[in-house]
Structure 1
Amino acid sequence: MSENKDFLRTIVEKDLESNKYKQIITRFPPEPNGFPHIGHAKSICINFGIARDYDGFCNLRMDDTNPTTEDTKYVEALKDAVQWLGFKWKGEVKHTSDYFPKIYEYAVKLIKMGKAYVDSISEEQMKEYRGTVTEPGKRSKYANRTIEENLELFEKMKNGEFKDAEHVLRAKIDMSAANMKLRDPLLYRIRHATHFRTKDQWCIYPMYDFAHCLSDYIEGVTHSICTLEFENNRDIYDWVLDALELQPPRPYQHEFARLGVNYTVMSKRKLLELVNENYVNGWDDPRLPTIAGYKRRGYTPESILNFCDQIGIAKANSMVDVSQLEFCIRDDLNKKVPRVMCVLDPIKVTIENYEGSEEIEASYYPHDVPKEGSRKLPFSSEIYIQRDDFMENPIKGYNRLTPEQPVRLRYAYIITCKEVIKDENGNITEIKAEYAPNSKSGHDTSGIKVKSAIHWVEAKQAKKVEVRLYDRLYKNEAPEGLEDLNPNSLTIIKDALIEPAVINEKADVRFQFEREGYFYADPVDYSDDKPVFNKIVGLKDSWAKKSKKDESKVKTQTTQKAEKKEVIHGEAEPLTATQQKLFDRYTNELKLNNEVSNILTRDEQLSSFYEQALKELNSPISLANIVANDVAKELKEKEINELKFNASHIAQLAKMIDDETISSKIAKQVFEQMVKSGDEPSKIVEDKGLVQISDPNTILPIIDEIIEKNPENVEKFKAGNQKLFGFFIGQVLKATNGKANPKVVNELVAQKLK
């Protein structure tokens, strides 16, 4: 294994070295009450990946203990997700319901040991008796029932002699336990509902905390790996196995941070609402974060696996930018898919001095993709180009076709605009043009200088296709509900035109539509009579810096919109030999991630700035993050000689972050001040008193005060609402104006909330 192991693999290796287990056995245990999403993909990769890496195996087990919400279709979706990602489970798919008889026997054993009892109080009383974070709970009077009475009642519960909620089986643990989950937790409840597998065989069902640990034990699982919200449940997990005095080896639970992605919801309840209320078109809608949705949109298993590998395995919850996932699919497809031409918003061009027709040989792949293949492009006097590839009154820096500016047709000739035809409303309907006969791509002797090449299709042989353009489903970075839905998350273009080889020859199912993005032939709706393509992900913007400067000036007659930011979506140029060498150094030697390396490599100013900063401080990752993000933003609007700060300033700033003199959040404030004043970071920090607070003696009283003021949130956190951990961290940072060391705060808050 790599030296940079995550903490879970470190645990596994120690267990193997100590001979605690002979073979590693993990499990992926989803509840079949919804389609798996990108968060499940992370769990799949961890559980199956660890088993694979240590020559063990992983079980796929359906946690089917709630008959009111589960269904066979969800089981099939979960199986498909695991297989699509390239993993295999050991033997048959397992179900918790397979173990219902054995789990029932374990419950009877606990009753006989005096460690479980049948309770008959109402749900309201149960909540009342539970107590609070600061006050112990009160045990039900029914806890005094004899073992014989409990056995009789539990048998009658199993036989269906009572109504739902009339009785429950509870563990007898400790009603004053600090972990409120240990205050006599429920083990079984009555549910008169038909189970999708066992039908009406059972009318009592085990609770998750009881069934899960026992299912793990029955299967011989060694490492029960789950997300952080189950951290408090670990005490019940251990109590059940210890109380039953089960023979070793036994499993142990380990938690990792669940995956959070901005602009995305992964709550099963919210996803179910979207599907059931028809806000999306089923569980495989390409806008959803479900595996089925990504699969239908055109994502590849490799891109999802790479994403999960990049984000790693952590102990603290955090939010991942959705652009990192988009980068992974773009990076994967860039090395695989054919390049073709599709015009989404066609405008006709008639080349008046061209006669006849011809076929132009064009490669499917650029020179830096080690694949072979080509197609023939029909060419004649009538073609279609993208509407925004022509501007009658161009803005400054516009490099495509204008009345005065010629342009190259990709793979073909240079054309010049001669006349613009408009309808009665002033809309452009056709462009009359001329071509330079001696300007053919690869054989150009015309001497005409052009600034860009545009894509096109031949009018007569182009195929009409439907193109579905997908944007983010939510307009807000941290969406809460339906009010945050993006009304423009789907745009359907019915009359796009594509070159004929895409439909006739079918070189692939995924393509890069040049200058538009990556697209996938919809696996459900595509047919030869009605081709349908889904947009997987866009290409990087090749003109963002220029368009941002001119944003306020842009008016485009071609679309008849008043104010519009002009953006040209262009295919990223292949790296030059020099750039490739630099990229390899950044990724292999300096260990920068691909996206940061790509940003630095492609911008000579940025890479030069970064290299200067490296001479000042040997902290490649810290410096790269500041340069690729903060410095890059400033250089979008300014030239490098207009900056008030220099590489030495950035090196000082990075060192202060590395030394934990200031936090990353404070570093943003310092950088903003550097941009305005040009002062050195140390001076800004000193003048504004921004030194990071790392002394626990200073931070602890603040934490105590916040905990004292928020007893309800403390109770909810200890009851299992792990999201509130971030609330307490935020309150401490807010109270210290962001000066508190987040790492120290995390550790101290975790200690205080135990």
Structure 2
Amino acid sequence: MTEEKSLNFIEEIIEEDLRTNKHGGRVLTRFPPEPNGYLHIGHAKSICLNFGLAKKYNGKTNLRFDDTNPVTEDVEYVDSIKNDIKWLGFEWDKELYTSDYFQKLYDFAVILIKKGLAYVDESSAEEIAAAKGTPTEAGKPTSARSRSVEDNLRLFEEMRAGRYQDGEMVLRAKIDLANPNMHLRDPLLYRIKHAHHHRTGNEWCIYPMYDFAHGQSDSIEEITHSVCTLEFIPHRDLYNWLIENIGIYESKQYEFARLNMTYTVMSKRRLLQLVNEKLVDGWDDPRMPTISGLRRRGYTAASIRNFCDRIGVAKRENMIDFGLLEFCIREDLNKTAWRRMAVLDPVKLIITNYPEGKEEILIGENNPEVEGGEGEREIPFSRELWIERDDFMEDAPKKFFRLGPDKQVRLKNAYIIQCDDFKKDSDGKVTEIHCSYIPNSKSGEDTSGLKVKGTIHWVSALHAKTAEVRLYDRLFQVENPVLEEDFKSTLNPDSLTIINAYIEPDLANAIVGRGYQFIRLGYFTLDKLTSSDKLIFNRTVGLRDNWAKETNK
């Protein structure tokens, strides 16, 4: 009997609201991304929370693009966001855009002006900032604050009509210049931006600020539970003030801790820097914490959902170890990845007593973790093999259970072999290993009676295919790059290593999106840029957490 998982604080709120029929028994959440970049793993947490709450309580989730800044937004980002949500396994009820509500939002602003609760201010951005005061000193009104309702209505209409340049005027709420919450000191509601919008074209040249668009869009859609991250706590008073004074549906905002993770950055602005300065190969570079980057690296939707479930929903900021994300993908791929053999640092091994010209087909399971092995594949075997260089040691210590002079080892899915001799070049580097095999020791048919402690992987030199293998590691060298003066100075120079490897021939049939365990080496996936002329594999994650070992040291 499994232990029932306790409710998080948002689930407790929803269950109480359902008990009291607060929203007529409805649960309607929303995911409101700004289409100014690709989604990252932090957004995945918000996606899983908003869509997961709706699913648990038989509700619905709207996907609403907060497209209120035409300068930074693009259709490319809209498409990528939709693809990421679907890939994670979620479906939205309605696809909406804040731009759908531009006229309604404008009308709401007019309501505030008519109530004497909003005014047009021609002061410069610097003057407005200075007049707001400090957290310990009250602000001072600009001359515009006493302007008449009639003049404010006229000026606001002229702003919309394009009579003024960018930055020449703004619309501000008239609230309280002495309020300890700086967000209530006459915040900006609208600004002028003469820029082409990806959906409305040049119809508008004034655009609502996030704080004005967010709560009102929630209200228009009658969102029951508006879930935000903790940095929006100071914005909540303004969220409520606007809804109350406009006189519209009362949506409620609830805040949870955003995802902060070691060895990465969770800021679209910083990620955009990496992309624009070509420090990475685009938004979907497998080193990036973007959902598309993780997908290309070989992370599965199930592993990311499991990760988000494990970290839970909290009210206090914390730092999640990147190793937990890696644990989740290892756990998933161990159950689903097909086993294959590849040699990344090859040295030739010759079985001297195996007949020249002879070939045979051996059999290996696709996945020993699953009953039945998910089928089998054929593995060609011949006299000459490639093995990993570090699987041989000339002066092997006692507990080295791989190859060395006179040592025996089993070849995976094949025979037991014994090292009889080896050759070195003038620099002392081993170039060939000569072994003899035990004919009656074939895996599954072994009658030799020999017991060996080590098993190594291999690839038949006669049948091997070649592939480019990209070994990805963490993008940053320090746990919290944003604490450094220049976060880019902490980039890990070894975050990508490209090598040419030998792979067993079945891997030439690999499929993009499927996980493969290169036996004893790690989990890999076929890159989207692979072609018939060039196979490219990305390492998703190693078999164990080497960073934890380094940290312990």
Alignment correspondent of 1:527: 531
1:515 corresponds to:
520
Give 1:74's aligned residue: 77
Amino acid at match of 2:525: Y
1:253 aligns with 2:253: yes
SS of 2:481's partner is coil
Task: Tell me which residue corresponds to 1:385.
Answer: 387
Alignment of 1:25 with 2:31, yes or no, is no
In the TM superposition, residue 527 of structure 1 has moved relative to its aligned partner by: 2.2
Q: Report SS of the residue matched to 1:278.
A: coil
TM-aligned CA deviation for residue 422 of structure 1: 1.6
3-state SS, counterpart of residue 294 of structure 2: helix
1:264 aligns with 2:270: no
CA offset digits 1:697-744 (Å, max 9, x no partner): xxxxxxxxxxxxxxxxxxxxxxxxxxxxxxxxxxxxxxxxxxxxxxxx
Which residue does the alignment assign to 1:36? Answer: 39
CA distance in 2, matches of 1:145, 1:404: 96
1: CA distance, partners of 2:32 / 2:232: 13
So what's the TM-score if we normalise by structure 2? 0.95
The reply on whether 1:187 has 2:189 as its aligned counterpart is yes
1:449-598 matches, cutoff 5 A: 449-480=451-482, 481-494=487-500, 496-504=501-509, 509-522=514-527, 524-540=528-544
Once the two structures are superposed, what CA deviation does each residue of 1:468-509 show, in whole Å capped at 9, x if it has no partner?
110000011111311000000001112x11111222486983
Could you say which residue in structure 2 is the equivalent of 1:348? Answer: 348
Q: Deviations over 1:143-168 (max 9, x none)?
A: 11110000000000000101111111
Q: Aligned in 2, Cα 1:189/1:70: closer, same or farther, shift over 3 Å?
A: same
SS in 1 for 2:450: coil
Equivalent residue, structure 2, for 1:48: 51
Distance 1:291 1:508, change over 3 A: closer
Relative contact order higher in (CA < 8 Å, ≥ 6 apart): 2
Superposed, 1:604-753 pairs within 5 Å as none
| 2:110 equivalent in structure 1 | 108
Letter of the structure 2 residue corresponding to residue 332 of structure 1 = D
Cα drift, residue 528 of structure 1: 3.0
Q: Which amino acid aligns with 1:314?
A: A
- Paired residues of 2:135 and 2:182 also in contact (CA < 8 A): yes
Asked if residue 332 in structure 1 is aligned to residue 332 in structure 2, the reply is: yes
2:172 and 2:189 in contact (8 A); partners too:
yes
The AA in structure 2 aligned to 1:135 is E
Aligned to 1:688: none
Which structure shows the bigger proportion of residues in helix conformation?
1
Offset of residue 3 of structure 1: 5.8
Shift in CA distance, 307/382, structure 1 to aligned 2, threshold 3 Å? same
Residue of structure 2 in register with 1:648 after alignment: none
Q: Which amino acid aligns with 1:244?
A: I
Identity of aligned residues (%): 55
| Structure 2, gaps ≥5 residues long | none
SS at 1:231 equivalent? helix
Is residue 338–residue 507 contact of structure 1 (8 Å, CA) maintained in 2? no
Instruction: Report Cα offsets for 1:298-332 as digits up to 9, x if no partner.
Output: 11100000000000000001000011000111101
Residue pair 2:413, 2:443 contacting (<8 A) in 1 also: yes
Select the residue among 121, 124, 133 that pairs with 1:122.
124
Higher strand share: 2
In 2, are the aligned partners of 1:335 and 1:369 still within 8 Å (CA)? no
The CA RMSD over aligned residues, in Å, is: 2.0
Pairwise mapping of residues 166-315 of structure 1 onto structure 2 (< 5 A)?
166-246=168-248, 248=249, 250-315=250-315
Residue number in structure 2 paired with 1:421: 423
**Alignment deviations for residues 264-292 of structure 1 (CA, whole Å, 9 cap, x no partner):** 10111110011111111111100000000
* Closer/same/farther in 2, CA of residues 513 and 58 from structure 1, 3 Å limit: same
Q: Tell me, what secondary structure is at the counterpart of 2:423?
A: strand
Shift of 1:426: 1.9
Unaligned runs of 5+ in 1: 549-564, 566-628, 637-754
Question: Which amino acid in the other structure matches residue 534 of structure 1?
Answer: N
Cα deviation for residue 428 of structure 1 reads 1.2
What is the aligned partner in structure 2 of residue 436 from structure 1? 438
Aligned 8 A contact 1:336 1:369 in 2: no
TM-score under structure 1 length normalisation: 0.70
CA distance in 1, matches of 2:158, 2:169: 10
Paired residues of 1:264 and 1:479 also in contact (CA < 8 A):
yes
Residue 220 of structure 1: how far off its partner (Å): 1.2
What amino acid is the match of 2:517? Answer: Q
Deviation at residue 245 of structure 1 after TM alignment: 2.0
The 3-state SS of whatever aligns with 1:349 is strand
Alpha-carbon distance between aligned partners in 1 of 2:509 and 2:99, rounded to the nearest angstrom: 50
Cα distance in 1 for partners of 2:353, 2:103 equals 85
Counterpart of 2:339, as a letter, is R
Aligned-pair CA distance for 1:370: 5.3
CA shift at 1:378, angstroms? 1.1
Assess if the C-alpha contact under 8 Å between 1:24 and 1:55 holds in 2: yes
